[in-house]
Structure 1
Amino acid sequence: MEPLHRVTAQTVDVLALMLQSPEPLWGLQIVKTLGRPSGTVYPILERLERQGWIRSSWAEHSEVQERRRRLYEFTADGADAARELCRAQGRL
């Protein structure tokens, strides 16, 4: 896992939201909950995944859900690092 070189308020918002969730979150759910543009959230998710903080997987569609959703969750090291970073930022 790589350390984050660029930590913005938006990045901390994404990390804090993911820490609060007991299960993986899908991208649009994060966008809607935070009220941030998708053009802000998705690049953050991509960077966090590339650096090993989170991982993603595709959830297959069901009768209720017509489209597949990409789910995001922490890696073990990523969750620990996110807690530490959010504490340092006063978000936990």
Structure 2
Amino acid sequence: MEPLQRVTAPTVDVLSILLESAGPVFGLEIMKRSGRPSGTVYPILERLERQGWISSEWEEHTDTQLRRRRVYTFTPEGAVAAREVVARAQGAS
């Protein structure tokens, strides 16, 4: 897992939402809960996944007509690191 080079307020928002969630979270939910646009949220999710903080998979809806959606969850190391980043950011504000 790579460390984050730059931690912005939107990144802290995304990490916080993922930490608060009991299970996998889909991108639209992160956008709604954070108030951040897709052009902010999805690049953050992509970067977090590329650096090994989170993983994602397609959630299939075979029993409904909902479209499939990508859900995100922390890797074990990513969850530990995210708690540290969020705590540091909250302590700084």
TM-score tier, shorter chain, comes to over 0.9
Identical-pair percentage: 64
> When the two structures are aligned, how many residues end up with a matched partner?
91
Flag structure 2 segments of 5+ consecutive residues without an equivalent. Answer: none
- Residue 18 of structure 1 corresponds to 18
Flag structure 1 segments of 5+ consecutive residues without an equivalent. Answer: none
Structure 1 segments of 4+ aligned residues over 2 angstroms from their partners: 62-65
- Residue 57 of structure 2 corresponds to 57
Q: Within 1, Cα distance between the matches of 2:9 and 2:81? A: 16
Superposition RMSD in Å: 1.2
- Aligned pairs for 1:1-92 within 5 A: 1-90=1-90
Deviation sequence 1:34-85 (CA, Å, 0-9, x none): 1110000000000000000000000002444520010000000000000011
Q: Within 1, Cα distance between the matches of 2:62 and 2:20? A: 25
Q: Within 1, Cα distance between the matches of 2:2 and 2:86? A: 17
Bigger mean CA deviation after superposition, 55-64 or 42-51: 55-64
TM-score, structure 1 length as denominator? Answer: 0.93
